[in-house]
Every structure is written in C-alpha cells, then in structure tokens.
Structure 1
Amino acid sequence: MKTAIILFNLGGPDGPDAVKPFRVNLFSDKAIIRAPIFIRFWLSRLIAASSAKQAAANYELMGGKSPLLDLTQQQASALEAELGGEVKTFIAMRYWHPFAKEAAEQVKAWNPDRILLLPLYPQFSTTTTGSSLTDWHEAAAAAGLAKPTTILCCYFDDPDYVASIAVLVDRGIAEAKAALPSGTRLRLLFSAHGLPESIVTAGDPYQAQVEANTEAVMARLADRDVEHLVCYQSRATPQKWLAPSTIEAIEQAGRDQVAVLLVPIAFVSDHIETLVELDIENRELAAHHKVPGYFRAAVPNADPAFIRALAGLARRALTHGPGLCSAVNGRVCDAKHKDCPWTRYRTEQNAP
C-alpha cells in the first residue's frame, strides 16, 4: 500500500525576514494563547515585538535561521529508508513553511492509500500535537484529501524510544564524569518546554507524560543512582508556568555546588531552545552562579536508534489501522487529563 507519513513539528524561521512572522504565528495560536481572538491578535504582536531584537540576535547565532527544517528533512529521509516499500514522508510544520496546507496538497498529488500522522513530539500536549492535528484536519479538508488516517498521539513510554534516549544520556553522563574532578556530584536536569499551569490544570497530560518519560529513561540508565530533576524552560508569557524552571534549577545547582547535565527530554531535534537557550544562555547562567560543571546530552536528530524506534512505532500504528492509537495502542493517560486526545476521540465517536 502507498503510505504517506506526515511528520509534525514546530517549524522555525528560514531567514532573518521570517523571524517576526514566525513568532506572530506562534503566539496567534489559540492553543497557546487562550484568549478571545481580538485579544490574541493584539497580544501575539505585542509578545513578538517585545523581544524581537533578542530573537533576531539568537537566530543570528545559528546562521540567521532555524536548523529545524533541515534536521526534520534528515529524519524524514532516514525514516523512509528504514521503512522501505511504498512509503513517502511529508513534513507539516505548525508555524512556518512547509505548513500543513502545503503538505496536504503534496499528499493529495501523490495519492496514497493511507496516511499516518506522526508527531515529532514524544509527549502529547494540546499546544503541540493537539494544535498540529487541528491544523492538519483543516488543511486536509481544504485540499479535499480524504484517506484512511491513523493518528499516533504519543510515544513517551515506547521502550525503543526510551532506550534510544537512555543511550544518549548515558553517553552524556560518561563525558561529564570524565571532564569533572573526581568526587564532583552530578545532577541530571531533564529540561522540557514549559507550559502555563492553567493549561495543565485544565486537563493537558503533558506534564504527567514528561515526568513518566523521565522515570522511564532513568530506569534504563547504567547509573540509576545519579541525581535527577525535571524542570521547564522557555517561559514566554507573564502567567504562572510549570515549576521549577530550568533557570531556577541551574541556580539551585550553584548553591548546592553540583555539576549539571541538561537532558532536553521533550525535544528530538536541535533548534533555538537547545542550541541557544541551553548551550549558550544557560551555560552563561551556570558560570555566573559558579555551577562546577555544565554539560548537555545530545538530542536524537537522525540518530539510527531513534529512527528505528520511529519506524517501529509507524509499523505498529499502521497495523492498528485508521483512528487514534498510542505506543501501546490504547489510552495511556489518567482519566483526570480531560484534554487527552482519547477523551475527545471517544466523545466524537459516541456522538449521535
């Protein structure tokens, strides 16, 4: 069967002129700024303008653009090669080209027998996978694309995915210990993109999945006794966000005189939040607070073990057939997470 696999990701500006519109698109998303449209229109432009110079300067550190599309294309090509057969991957970015609209038109022209929606977000959030799903469904409808579609909601607990991350963390631990003076304590900081607390309180399962993902990785490490902490980065609005922040965790490491290894647990590709926020800004913060050592574990990018894990997930999801599935087929979230996609899917399925 001709199978189209749609890879969802955030997207990023492809040049200096794209920085502002990318950020406006990001903060205009009703899944992120949960306010009436007229407030969101004003607020998105205010937020984008308030740090425009800093954002532009940060992208300049990466050559004037985000590397995310290039890295996602590498992942897409590697996944195609791993799966073989009549499989073609397409990329649908949420906030910059190629948008879902472009991907849907390409998929329709290729005319597959079936479609798999595969997010490059291991943990489900209404602000990432949920937003991309809404965007895709609207784009597919506008393109007149109607094919049997399987949706993979999350895979934070997939054993092969977890193992691929654990290998990268083990490598980071070994490199950190080799560079540190003997006897220096090391703490793993599992840093995930933050969310306003109100979104989690409303029923988003993201925080629970990040924490479960972290514990699954810890259980696979060679050194399971190493200290660890989950923290959250990239606060963007004045609301109260998930805590502790990565900044707070680094400051605490300075007070405790413990070295840190940052593990970007919610990211599978390098982009501004790893290459600038973690590697430059937070490294400078650690030096300012006299943290005795600052290291970062690699993200998967096109690491072969990660690509094999994605391929396994794709095969099992396609075997499941059309509809919603997870890494373990059924729902993995506690019932208290009302924004788990399984709640919405079942509600829609049972509607008269």
Structure 2
Amino acid sequence: MKHAVIVANLGAPSNLSEVRPFLKQLFADPDIFNFPFGKLGQAFFSSMIATLRAPKSKKYYAAIGGGSPLHENTVAQALKLEKMLNEKGDFTVFTAQRYWHPFFEEIAAEVRQGNFDDIILVPMYPHYSTTTTLSIVNEWKRVSGDLPEPIVIERFYAEPGYVKACANQIRATLSKFHKPPHILFSAHSIPVSRVKAGDPYEKEINANMELIMDELRRVYNYSLCYQSKVGPVEWLGPEIQDALDGLVKNKGVTNVLVFPIAFVSEHVETLYELDIQTREYAKKIGIKQFERADTVQDLNEFIAVLKKLILERVAL
C-alpha cells in the first residue's frame, strides 16, 4: 500500500516581504479569530490587523535574520520521518503550512497525483487545541475534495519518547548552570474563552509539564507561563514577564531555564520573544543567568514517536 503523510505546521514568512500576507492569512482563520459580519468581516478585519501589526512583526523577523526557520525545521523533520517510515513500508512525506507556502491546497494537488491508498495528517502540535490541531484538520478537509478521509495524529505530548526528548533538551541546557535553575515552561497562550468552551489545551500542557518533571526526577523547582498573547481579550496566563517578576520578587530566583513546551520547531516565538525580548527583560529585573532550551526539532527520539503513532494507525 502507498501512504501519504502530511506533516503540517503553522507556517511562517521566509523574508520580510512575506510578513504582512502571512499575518493576513493567520488573522483570517476563524478557528482562532472569529470576527463579526461573516466572511466579509473576516476578510476586512484580518487585512486591517495585518497591516497594523506588520511593521512591528517585521522588526522581530529582522532581528532573527530576516525570516523564520520554521519551514526549514519542518522539512528536516519530514525527511527524517520519511526515511524512518520507509524502513517499514511505502511512505511519501509532504510538508504543508497553514498560513504560508506550501499551502494545504498546493499539497492536496500533489497528493491527488500520487494515487495513495491512505493519508495520514500529522499536525506538529504536541497538545490538541481547537486553535491549532482543529484548524489544520478543518483546512485540509476544505481543500482535499475527493481524497480519502485522513487519519489524524491529534496529539503526542504524553508519548514516553516525546517526553524523554523534551527532558533531554532541558538536561543539555542544565549543564550550562553552576547552580540549579528554576525551570520555567513557556507555552503559546490561547483565549480563555476557548478553554471555557472545552478546549483541552491547558490541561494537556500541564500534564505534559508534570510528565517531563517526572522524567527529570523532580529535583528542580518549576512553573508554567504563557507567551504570544494577541489582542484585548483574556488569554491564558500568567504572561512570561509577569511570571519572571513573581519569581524574582517572591522567591528570589536569579537563575532561570526556559523550555518552550508547546513548540517542536524554532521560529519567531522562540528566537525573538524568548531569546531576545524575554532575555533582555530577565536581565533588567535582576536575573543573573537566563538560558533557553532548544525545541525538539528533528531529534531521533521525537521523530521515532511520530513513526510509531503512524505505524499503529495504518495497514502495511
């Protein structure tokens, strides 16, 4: 049997000219931002917000080299996954991005030409959320037409191999400290209204954190915060700067290790928000050592988890 695997991620601009159109695609997604007045309102408000936010976002991307490495990271993950899967069967792995090229529609056209027996959709989000995983599933269904219904890998945060990969990235960073640091897990925030409506993201983030600390034998103090809030509505907190303030003022913390628990690739949220913006803030409030652990990217332990989950769901 021939299997198509679609490794799907958020997407990101690769140069500064792509920042505004990327943002427009992002803000037009009704699974995240549900603006009034139907499709016309969605188009109008997404365009307006993208125009307003683009100048600041361009500064962020300029500070990390002019573009995001997210797609490059995703391609590396896909290539390694394809190599591992083809030890067991006939697999072709594609990469698709939700808000920038290659769009799902482009990949659906390629898949349609391949006469595949089944399709496995792998959103590269460890934790299920209506704002990420469901958005990817909905977009694929919108563009896939008569293609077979996809097998969806909805989450993988609790897989032992993934937990170990996260812990190993933290261990590698712990070696930089002379004194035990406070481990601060940072997750991308989502609107509180989504959680109240039943989105499991917050629960899964917390469960993932506890599993990682079990792997690290719980010998470090730790806590959870959120980043990347957008707009005036209430989002999950505490925000990362508030969390750092609390650690310094209430616990006298001077050494902090940040792990981006919701991300499997490097992009502007890690390379700018954490490595530049948050690092500068930490120094300003008196934190003497601030280190950020790498995301899991294409670590063998992580890619092997994806392989396992896919092979469990397909007929070879």
* TM tier, smaller: over 0.9
Runs of 4+ deviating beyond 4 Å = none
What CA distance in whole angstroms lies between the structure 1 residues aligned with 2:314 and 2:231? 39
Kindly indicate whether residue 49 of structure 2 is the aligned counterpart of residue 47 of structure 1.
yes
Normalised by the size of structure 2, how large is the TM-score? 0.94
Match of 1:269 in 2: 265
3-state SS in 1 of match to 2:45: helix
Query: Greater CA deviation, 42-51 or 227-236?
Result: 42-51
**Offset from partner CA, 1:168-191 (integer Å, 9 cap, x none):** 11222222x23xxx4xx5211110
Which among 243, 246, 249 is matched to residue 252 of structure 1? 246
Structure 1 contact 10–94 (Cα < 8 Å) conserved = yes
Following superposition of structure 1 onto structure 2, how do residues 82-101 of structure 1 map, counting pairs within 5 Å? 82-84=84-86, 85-101=89-105
Distance across 2 between alignment mates of 1:139 and 1:225: 48
AA aligned to 2:160 is: P
**Partner residue, 1:71:** 73
Whichever residue aligns with residue 210 of structure 1, its letter is I
Once the two structures are superposed, the pairs formed by residues 158-197 of structure 1 within 5 Å of their partners are 158-175=159-176, 177-178=177-178, 182=179, 186-197=181-192
Q: Contact 2:8–2:123 at 8 Å: present in 1 too?
A: yes
* Structure-to-structure mapping, 1:100-139, within 5 angstroms: 100-139=104-143
Give the fraction of aligned pairs with identical amino acids, expressed as a percent. 38
Inter-partner Cα distance in structure 2 for 1:76 and 1:67: 14
Q: Identify the match of residue 206 of structure 2 among 196, 208, 211.
A: 211
Secondary structure of 2:119's aligned partner: strand
Aligned pairs, number:
310
The match for 1:29 is 29
Q: Deviations over 1:302-352 (max 9, x none)?
A: 111111121112111325x9xxxxxxxxxxxxxxxxxxxxxxxxxxxxxxx
What residue number does 2:152 align with? 151
TM-score by length of 1: 0.84
Alpha-carbon separation, structure 1, partners of 2:312 and 2:223:
32
Post-superposition shift, 1:148? 5.3
Q: Is the 8 A contact 1:254 1:286 kept in 2?
A: no
1:229 to 210, 217, 223: 223
What letter corresponds to residue 291 of structure 2 in structure 1?
F
Instruction: Identify unmatched segments of 5+ residues in structure 2.
Output: none
Aligned partner of 2:277 among 278, 281, 286: 281
Q: CA deviation at 1:42?
A: 3.4
